[in-house]
Amino acid sequence: MGLVGIATEKILSSFSVFLFLTIILLAVARRISTSVLLFSLQSAIITAEVLATGFQEKLASAYLVGILIFVIKVVAIPRAFFVLTKRLKTVHDVKASTTPSQSVFVVAVMIYLSYAAVHSYGGAVRAPGDSLAAAIALILTGAFLMVSRKKALMQVLGLLVMENGIFLAALLTTFGMPLVIEIGIFFDILMGLLLMGIFMFRISDTFEHLDVSKLRRLRG
Amino acid sequence: MKIMVDILQLLLLILGAPLVRGIIARFKARLQKRRGASIWRPYVELFKLLRKEDLTPPTSSAVFRLAPVLLFGCTVCVAAFIPVAHVSALLGSRGDFFLLVYLLGLGRFSLSLGALDGGSAFGGMGASREALISSLAEVPFLMGLVALAILSSRADITGMVAWTLHQNIFNISTVHILAFTSLAMVVLAETGRMPVDNPTTHLELTMIHEGMLLEYSGPSLALIEWASAIKLHAMLALLIALFGPWGMAAGGSGWGLATALLLYCAKVTVLMVLLSVIESAAAKLRMYLVPDFLGVASAVSALAVIFTMWVKR
Amino acid sequence: MIPVLGAGFILLFRNPRFATRAALLVGALEVLALGAVIWQVHLQGELQEGRYLRADALSAFFLMSIAFVSGIVLIYSSGYLRHTGEGRFSSPRWFYALVFMFLFTMISVCLSANLGLLWIMMEGTTLASALLVGFYNTEGAIEAGWKYLIVCTVGIAFALFGTIVLYLAAVKAGMSPASGLDWISLMNAAPGMALDPHLVKLAFVFVIVGYGTKIGFVPMHSWLPDAHAEAPTPISALLSAVLLNCAMYALMRYDVIVSRTVGPAFSHTLLLIFGVLSMVVAGLLILVQRNLKRLLAYSSIEHMGIIAIGLGLGGPLGLLGALLHTFNHSAAKSLLFFGAGNVRHNMGTLRIDGIQGISRTMPQTSAALVVGGLAIVGLPPFSLFISEFAILSEAFAQAHYLVAALFLIVLSVVFGGFAYHLFRMLCGKPGRRPENARLIPSEYISMGIAALCVLYFGVRIPHFFNVLLHEAMAVLR
């Protein structure tokens, strides 16, 4: 099989634990920059898994997708986040609405739930159970981040983590959807991020802060 | 023959402890662009302290004098459990990991009592903080070890190490990684290192471990300092033994032991460098954040235990 | 393709007046093109273009709604933008460009044969309309736009997950990866129970939550009142009348697949639950509204609930009612929003307490509001009565008495609410003399067309329309 073969196999079956670690650390991160770094680490791990899948299944499109992910999610988006943080002059605090201990507890429960879900749906998929559970845990964590973080930037980050999770789930269960669709999804995400960036500028200009929990004018 | 090897391991842990401390201090100094003291400095300090007079506060009782001895005894016992170069230890199969954790706890308890007995305000403050940290650190410590125990179906440390030795090194085990993360955090808390406690602080208000030592002098202080160095060394050896024991000798051959010893030195050096880097890079957590830190460790160790259900690796 | 090119075209014009004219031109072209497609579908049955675009009777029906509403909205906005004047927001050419992008995405939703492409375009509608919602740079608009963007993107992410699960089921059943998302292939595979029932059910749950967010079903509706209220009036009309329908269209496609696989009970029950919930909650909230456009937005949620109930009941009358209702609701809602826009211009506010006595000061607008209001609560002789009656009959026919009872109760409540609010606005002493009580031609035309539609369809459905409707129903069965 060769060294690369062994490496890819190991990657696919065991990298999920590092994803779990990034999830837990995201729950306790207290600065935006830390969270963004964790996100790019996550994306790097997912890139590794994509490339490993491509190697195993001999799919050329997987390589392309992997490179795309790397460029967009590991390099471009974190860069954009840092630039935005500087431009918007936000304070670095993540402004979570739950303490780190509570967040970690919630995340641990989510990880447990995702494992339980994977096991109950059992052999429906031909993917390593760990990684699928990691994907579901990513989705849940992304949702949790969006709900519990009060800064607009962190909400966007939560969304991105969710997308990571969905993408990983798609990768594991289907080993590649038609390339056009994948590219389309990427494009959508990019445009979405662009728009969110525009909106964040407007929010900070008009309201002079990025705390979305204070956006409560409209009610009822 | 086995007894000889085990005694030698114990002596290595005990006598090498101040050296470990010295090396870490030197690494930190170098990282912070200072020259730093010599690595043999802790030995010099211990000798100096042993020659000095042992002063006790007039309001203290026997507890004050007994505490350092008890602490030292417990720590040496703990060190006797841990295999270093050979897959056995002096007290190896006579006690399981619960005993290990609670021996450490007993040592800490006696030190806290001694500090309280000393009658100074800082002793009391340090003791109460230490109590908080140790009670919080107990959970992740135990659970991390429980996770490993479940996997290896053995309760004693040497048994766990033997099991791990038989595993393929390339099978990355989720449980092990999670347990390692949480145990590493516990080691930081137990041995009083950054980011939980600053071992080099001069400010009494920020002291946790150091605060309890303030009243001690002479041989008692030497015993306490030595005990904390042994604890650090023993914890590092524990981490190495539980998570990276490959290379340990199983038989009694001389060459095997020698190579095992060399490997051990290499691994300890790696851990020491890592510890120095973490200590230099992290700022000390404020007291109300330490529970959060240990809470994360608890959650990670809980996950490790939960994963033993599914992973079976 | 025309709307995309149109969008680019508009951007070239810097002068607002030219932009408007160009927009009208492009709009006319687009309506004609859509009409051509619809006609062809009617003649040929189905059009297929490449692997990703397809138009069948259902698409044609929805395209007709889109064409109709976008036509009158464009007419209206030509006047609307001129009315408010310059300065407060980005120029009209951006407005039209964004509108055409929005229309492009919505048309593509109706034309896609591939569920993946459907998803991409649905996400595209969120993106295209987010900027439109936040068009005015006020605090409220930005907050509404942000909420809209985030909530809908999350919802669509769930829908993506559902799509992936469905794809997984397809691939597992042996379909080739390339056609796993193709609607026709899925339809064919479904009856043979080749698709794993558990996975399909799971997929549908995610899809209904995801696309339901865009439709405005109740637990996920939080963005709707804000977005529809803060957006410029023509955009509100587009959102309420067209976007919600498109999302419903997407849901219909999934519903058919799921029904064919695991039987209709599962998906229809879910639809009924969401439908009733939306209707009841929205109906109750209508009573306490203080802002005219928010009132209309909640009414949209309620009507989407009605459509969902119709779909959930199934059966010929239920489907007929649901489909007809999508169109009727679009017409009536556009009319109401246009009226609201006028009110806003002239009275300067949308708060119901602030508007009084417009029956005297703005007779034409208030006539429009009355017509729209009566239509929207489902009174005869307006068209909504017919569709709601159909759904109601279906409920009785299937012995879903609880649903029927709730339906009637909510309708009465809504009637009361609307009557109350409208009367407060119409009667009483006029507080402020509006500057421009007369309707300018564009508004006249658009509102008139909508009103006529609503009236006429109540009495008699044109033959062509009827035929198209039945063909669409056939697709759904």
pLDDT tens-digit readout, B252-283: 677 778 888 888 889 899 999 999 888 888 88
Instruction: Give the domain extent around A85.
Output: 2-91+100-210
pLDDT of residue A50: 78
Q: What is the ipTM of this complex?
A: 0.81
Interface test with A, best of C122, C123, C292 (most A CBs within 10 A): C123
Query: Bridge partners of C49?
Result: C53
Mean pLDDT rounded to a whole number for chain C: 75
Q: Is residue A217 part of a domain?
A: no
pLDDT tens-digit readout, B57-89: 888 888 888 999 999 999 999 998 888 877 777
Residue B124 CA to residue B57 CA, distance in Å, equals 14
**Predicted model pTM:** 0.78
Q: How many domains does chain A have?
A: 1
pLDDT tens-digit readout, C69-101: 888 887 777 767 665 544 444 566 677 777 777
pLDDT of residue C102: 81
Contacts with C125 (C-beta within 8 Å, 6 or more apart), sequence order: C102, C105, C106, C109, C214, C243, C246
Q: Is the Cβ pair C145, A163 closer than 8 Å?
A: no
Contacts of A105 in chain B (CB under 8 A): 295, 299
pLDDT of residue C2: 47
Q: Is the Cβ pair B178, A20 closer than 8 Å?
A: yes
Tell me the domain boundaries of chain B.
2-311
Taking only residues 152 to 171 of chain B, the set having a beta carbon closer than 8 angstroms to any beta carbon of chain A reads 170-171
Q: Is the Cβ pair A10, B178 closer than 8 Å?
A: no
CB-CB: which of C120, C164, C288 is closest to A174? C164
Q: Is residue A21 part of a domain?
A: yes
Decide if pLDDT at B113 tops 70. Answer: yes
pLDDT of residue B233: 93
Q: Is residue A178 part of a domain?
A: yes
**Across B9-13, average pLDDT:** 88
pLDDT tens-digit readout, C404-421: 888 888 888 888 888 888
Q: Which long-range contacts (CB under 8 A, 24 or more apart) does B183-188 make?
A: B183/B140, B183/B141, B183/B144, B183/B145, B183/B239, B183/B242, B183/B301, B184/B239, B185/B140, B185/B293, B185/B294, B185/B296, B185/B297, B185/B300, B186/B137, B186/B140, B186/B141, B186/B144, B186/B294, B186/B297, B187/B235, B187/B236, B187/B239, B188/B278
Contacts of C52 in chain A (CB under 8 A): 180
**Across C48-71, average pLDDT:** 73
- Residue numbers of chain A with a pLDDT score lower than 50: 1, 220
Contacts of B299 in chain A (CB under 8 A): 24, 101, 104-105, 107-108
Q: Is residue A219 part of a domain?
A: no
Distance from the Cα of C225 to chain A's closest Cα (Å) equals 8
pLDDT band at C476 (very low <50, low <70, confident <90, very high): low
Q: Is residue A215 part of a domain?
A: no
Asked if C41 contacts C56 with a C-beta cutoff of 8 angstroms, the reply is yes
Interface test with A, best of B169, B173, B174 (most A CBs within 10 A): B174
Reduced to 3 states (helix: H, G, I; strand: E, B; else coil), residue A1 is coil
pLDDT of residue B232: 93
